[in-house]
Amino acid sequence: MAATHLTVCEHCDSVHQHLLLRDGETALCQRCGAELYHSRRLDLNRMLALTLTALIVFIIANLYPIADIELQGRSNSARLWDAILLTYDSDVRPIAIIAAASAFFLPLAQILLFLYVLVPLRAGFVPREFALVMRVLRLAQPWSMVEVFLIGTLVSIVKLHGYAGVTLEPGLWGFAVLTLLQALLENYHLHELWDYADEIGRSQRVSEQAT
C-alpha cells in the first residue's frame, strides 16, 4: 500500500500518512483508536440526492408550523422563527441566538456548502476554494444541532399536553426527517470528498500533459 498524503484525526488532531486501503479495510488512529477513513467508494449521486432532499425538507420544516396549541378556546400555531423571536423578546437573548445558529443558520450553511462541493465534483471538476469550504464543513458539523432542537421541542410538547391541546404540524415532522438526513450525510467521511477531489485533480493534470 502506497502513501499518498497526510490525514488528521478529527478527535485528537494527530497526523497520519494516508494509505490506500484494500476493500473492507479501515484505518484507525494510532493515538486514540478512532476511525480515520475506510475503503468504501464514495457514491456522489447518493450523497447529492441526500443533500438536495435535506434542502427541500429544511424549507418545509421552516415554512410550516411545528405545533398547534389550543388553550381556553384559543389556538396558536408556532414556527421555528416564531419560537426564536419570542425567546429573544423574553430577556433570554443568548439562548435565542444559540437556537437560531444551531437549528437554522448552521444546518442551512452545511447543506449549501455540501451542494457547493458536490455539484462540481459530480460534473467532474474541483470547485474554487474547495479546501476552505471543506475546513468550514468540518468545523460546522459538531455545531449543527437540529436533533437537540427536536428533542427539546418534543419535551415541551409533552409538558404542554397536560393542560393544553397540542396538534403536531408538518414542521415538526420536517425537522424529524431533517435529523435523519443529516445523520445519513454525516455517515460519509469528509476524507472521501478530499480523495475524490484528488482523483479529479490528477486526471485533469494527466489530460493537460497529454495535450
pLDDT at 41: 59
62 and 153 housed in the same domain: yes
61 and 115 inside one domain:
yes
- Which pLDDT tens digit goes with each residue over 25-36? 778 888 888 877
pLDDT tens, 98-126?
Answer: 888 888 998 999 999 999 999 999 888 88
Domain count across the chain: 2
If asked whether residues 56 and 131 sit together in one domain, one would say: yes
* 42 vs 66, higher pLDDT: 66
pTM value?
Answer: 0.75
Tell whether 34 and 64 lie within a shared domain: no
Place of cell 389556538: 75
Domain that holds residue 28: 1-40
CA 123 vs CA 54, 190, 198: distances in Å: 20, 18, 15
Side by side, the strands of the sheet bearing 74-78 are 74-78, 67-71, 165-168
Residue among 123, 111, 21, 15 at smallest CA distance from 58? 111
**Of 199, 53, 209, the residue nearest 126 (C-alpha):** 199
CB atoms within 10 A of CB 18: 19
Residues 120 and 58 in one domain: yes
Same-domain check for residues 26 and 54 = no
Residue 187 and residue 110 share a domain: yes
**Shared domain check, 47 and 36:** no
- Are residues 80 and 10 part of one domain? no
Between CA 26 and CA 185 the distance in angstroms is: 19
